[in-house]
Chains A and B, each alone.
Chain A
Amino acid sequence: MLATRALTYQYPGGEQLTFPDISCARGETWLLLGDSGSGKTTLLQLLAGLRTPGSGEVVVDNQVLGQLSGSDLDRFRGKQLGIIFQTAHFVRSVSVAENLALAQRLAGNAVDHDRIQQLLDQLSIGNKADAAPAALSVGQQQRAAIARAIINQPSVILADEPTSALDDANTHRVIDLLREQAAAVNATLLIVTHDNRLTRIIDQQIRL
């Protein structure tokens, strides 16, 4: 599960953001909606432990992020949080499968080659396992990024604007894929977006 309590963030410039409390149960899908500049991205970073809140706390799978520090937080993030960014980035020097293996290793898990191949097969990019990430099409890269986000069976999946560049048909496919994969590992899925098309698909919404 994913929850926040009285979360604020202090920008270095002086402006302060206050966020509404969130409480998303395990297995649920939520939309985080807001216009540009509303602080969506900042909230995503706070939820992922990529930024430190000014006050309040973020709870992921019963763990208060603020209580973790340094490499413990990094490892926790690797294990419990799957993050899909708007643009997919990979370690370019190693293959798609090795990127997933790296994700397992860095999260402190054992490398499971069978699971990696299975997951890539499920996402219809099994034949790209040994390809360099740069050799994949944009759509394939997005699938590979989804595979990497869920490889460690995280309790929370955060997706940042996954559909902003897609047409309606592909938007549906990607959202279905995300929900399907989140359900497969029983994770909370939080989609951060300004794309109002998604409000017709996903009921549970948080507005900033």
Chain B
Amino acid sequence: MNLIRLAWKNLTYKPLNALLGILLFALSVGLVSLLLSLRKQADEQFDANLAGVNLVVGAKGSPLNLVLNSMYHLGYPNGNVSLGEVRAFLNPRHPLIEAALPLSLGDGYRGYRIVGTVPDILDWYGAEIGRGEVWQHDFEVVVGPNVVANTGLKMGDTFRSAHGIVDEGEDAMEHEGEFKVVGILAESGTVLDDVILTTNPTYWHTHDHGGGAEDHQEDDHADHDHDDHEHADHADHNHVGGIQQLLEAAEDKELTSILVRYKGINARTMSFARNINDNTDLLAAEPPYQINEVRRQFDNGQRILRILVIAIIIVSALSIFISLFSSLRDRRYELAMLRVMGSGRGGLFGLIVLEGLFVAAIGALAGLLLSHGILAVMANNIRDDFRYQLDAWRFLPEEGWMFLGALALGFLAAVIPAIQAARTDIGETLTEG
């Protein structure tokens, strides 16, 4: 029967007294931990997927939307642009541009997005083929590891894409043309883990726009024996040219957007985006700027929450203080008895402080569990809706500090009641009744 055990027993003897303090601590620590974890992991995901992109060029609309859609595969595309408008960006001889990635977006398979692009994208994101080979021909796809895990797609599988990004189940409007899985990506920790990669021209086959009358007719008549027919059809487009193929394709073929890397940052690149926006029908958005905008919004929201959290923290410390202080009156006889039994003033001080620390520690632990429990629930939803991988059970060093901070607060809240307890006049107390 030592002080720690006694403090614990005192706490569990009247659990309701401690409950409020524990709940408030859990709430404040949980909120802070939740915000920290979300912010930290969001930052990391944003950074991991920046891929050195200096500029995103696409159709007019919201620049933030363009960035989120083209780089993070969130939300819906602004619309498409014609190859004729953007061909200059793809030209390897462009004076400012080191490299460019053409993206064709808008279709999906069971909630996973199909991204038409060139294999260079793997280098941009530092991703590698885990099994199989890179996509070369139209309708060949390489799938991210998370897609494999959640759809069960395997090497050699075929599937049809759906128009739109959301998984609409049975009602999905399916496109003509069967995709074939030729490769699976190794996990890269980037957004590529969650997408299906194919060529840009594949989109031209599945979407008739700009496909010309020839394609139209073929599609109309190909309903019954499309297997043979489509393979023959694909063969026509089997230029293994990547960007070269796009440079040669018809002006009215469409792309969704282009990711651009500058050769270097200079005065011309500084005004490049503005020039595009002012002088063309295209929209140019700078990802770092847009992402900072998102962060700023997030921080604005956080500022209000922070005030709330601080208020809860103060109230939680107060609740410990009040519950300990008011329990002193109830317990003055037993505190005096402890002195009679041989406990020094330090013992009583320690006992009350321990009780405060217990409340703070339990509350803080509960808060951390609560926050990561919420993250675990969120992780499932977020993964599907936002392509945002949340590692729910990853604890940040800051959370360790928060735990110590909670203990410090528990100590502070307990100190005055503890001093009061240590000062108990035993003689007076025990002979009064």
Render B326-361 as a binary contact track against A, CB cut-off 8 A, 1 for contact. 000001011011111111111100000000000000
Asked if A44 lies at the interface with its beta carbon under 8 angstroms from chain B, I say yes
Asked if B307 lies at the interface with its beta carbon under 8 angstroms from chain A, I say no
Asked if A102 lies at the interface with its beta carbon under 8 angstroms from chain B, I say yes
Interface-lining segment among B9-17, B77-85, B229-237: B9-17
Complex contacts, B132 vs chain A, CB 8 Å: none
Q: Is the interface of B mostly helix, strand, loop or mixed?
A: helix
**Chain A interface residue count, Cβ-Cβ cutoff 8 angstroms:** 35
Asked if A61 lies at the interface with its beta carbon under 8 angstroms from chain B, I say no
CB-contacts of B158-176 with A (<8 A) = none
Asked if B1 lies at the interface with its beta carbon under 8 angstroms from chain A, I say yes
Q: How far is the CA of A94 from the CA of B5 in the complex (A)?
A: 10
Q: How far is the CA of A86 from the CA of B340 in the complex (A)?
A: 14
Complex contacts, A90 vs chain B, CB 8 Å: 334, 337
- Give the distance to chain B from A103, nearest Cβ to Cβ, in Å: 5
Complex contacts, B338 vs chain A, CB 8 Å: 91, 102, 106
Interface-lining segment among A69-77, A179-187, A198-206: A69-77
Q: How far is the CA of A76 from the CA of B333 in the complex (A)?
A: 20
- Give the distance to chain A from B402, nearest Cβ to Cβ, in Å: 30
* B334, closest chain A residue (CB): A91
A89 touches B342 (CB 8 A): no
* B13, closest chain A residue (CB): A93
Q: How far is the CA of A71 from the CA of B9 in the complex (A)?
A: 24
Q: How far is the CA of A106 from the CA of B345 in the complex (A)?
A: 12
Q: How far is the CA of A93 from the CA of B334 in the complex (A)?
A: 10
Interface-lining segment among B213-221, B314-322, B423-431: B423-431
B13 touches A71 (CB 8 A): no
B337 is contacted by which of A44, A75, A89 (Cβ under 8 Å)? A89
Complex contacts, A93 vs chain B, CB 8 Å: 6, 9-10, 12-14
CB-contacts of A72-104 with B (<8 A) = 74-79, 83, 85-87, 89-94, 98, 101-103
Asked if A108 lies at the interface with its beta carbon under 8 angstroms from chain B, I say yes
Q: How far is the CA of A87 from the CA of B344 in the complex (A)?
A: 22
28 pairs from A and B in contact (CB 8 Å cutoff): A45-B431, A50-B430, A70-B345, A71-B347, A74-B342, A74-B343, A74-B345, A74-B347, A76-B342, A85-B430, A86-B431, A86-B433, A87-B433, A89-B336, A90-B337, A91-B6, A91-B334, A91-B338, A92-B331, A93-B13, A94-B9, A98-B9, A106-B338, A106-B341, A106-B342, A107-B342, A108-B342, A111-B1
Binding site for A on B (CB under 8 A): 1-2, 6, 9-10, 12-14, 331, 333-334, 336-347, 426-427, 430-431, 433
> Given known contacts A91-B338, A93-B9, what 13 new A-B pairs fall within 8 Å (CB)?
A45-B431, A48-B427, A74-B345, A75-B344, A77-B340, A85-B430, A86-B431, A89-B333, A89-B336, A89-B430, A90-B337, A93-B6, A160-B431
Q: Which 7 A-B pairs have the closest CB atoms?
A: A78-B342, A71-B344, A93-B13, A50-B427, A45-B427, A106-B342, A89-B333
